Amino acid sequence: MELPEKFYACGGILLALPLMAMLCPARGLLLIDLAAMPTLLCFVAGYLTWWTPKFMRVWQSNIGRVPLVLLNGTLLPLCGALGRIVASKATGLPAQALDLTVGLLAILSYPVVWGIFFFLFIAVGAFVSIVVAMTLSTSVHFFRTMISLVLPWRRQTGGPGWIDRLANHGFGGLVAAMLVAGAVAAYSNGLYSERLIRLLAYRLDFGYAEKYPLVDHTRPMRLLDNQYAAYAEFKDWDVEFAVVKLVEEPAANKH
């Protein structure tokens, strides 16, 4: 057997562990999940050892590398838009006033967008593989049954191995897609934490302007449009923002 098939075979053998956990008197969901982990990891390993060489052959070819580079370039506007949305939502300020924060979030959002793309690609491919394998398996079983009725002396052998491999690839792809989705969710929850974004904005986009008129020189500030200014105050490992209008004092009060 090839290496992916060895992993799939090990996963099928280790499937006995969750079955035994179900028969355990003190069984629970945690115990069953832990017992099923070796099987799932074997199927993921089998899928990755089958899929990774194919992806690398596409990447190493000049024709296959061009679409991936173009796709990577088109993801930049999506990452920038995602950074603008989460930055303005976390701070309550317009995104154009947080250019450095939005730029950093756009760069750090690349794994999120790529992870979503790979999740959709793998999940759709795995679902199609399982449906095709089930359809072909049913069709082959039907035709073999008909042949055995017409030619009862004809000896029937096992099902086509490539259908089994297709089903294994589909199941391994579904598990891999779930792992990708979990990794993307964990990464995005940490990256898009509103407190973290406020701290980034406080450090990157706010500063002091001692010689600028009409502003409070003792607090970090950021100028906004329409004669408004935003002030940031660090408090309890969080940042509060306040927006005030810059009003020039009447001439009579200057003397």
Q: Which residue's entry shows tokens 């990755």?
A: 48
Residues forming beta bridges with residue 234, ordered by sequence position = 239
Average of per-residue pLDDT across 46-50: 91
Closest CA to 227 of 254, 249, 248: 248
pLDDT band at 194 (very low <50, low <70, confident <90, very high): very high
Residues forming beta bridges with residue 229, ordered by sequence position = 223, 244
pLDDT at 110: 92
Whether 239 shows a pLDDT value over 80: the answer reads yes
Q: What confidence tens digit (pLDDT) does each residue in 95-147 have? A: 999 999 999 999 999 999 999 999 999 999 999 988 888 888 776 655 555 55
pLDDT at 255: 46
Helix boundaries (H) for the chain: 3-14, 16-23, 29-60, 62-91, 99-108, 110-150, 161-191, 194-204
Which helix (H) or strand (E) segment is 27 a member of? none
pLDDT at 252: 47
CA distance 86 to 106: 10
Q: What confidence tens digit (pLDDT) does each residue in 72-94 have? A: 888 888 999 999 999 999 999 99
Tokens of 14: 């280790």
pLDDT band at 178 (very low <50, low <70, confident <90, very high): very high
CA distance 19 to 33: 11
- Its sign, for the CA torsion 64, 67, 70, 75, is negative
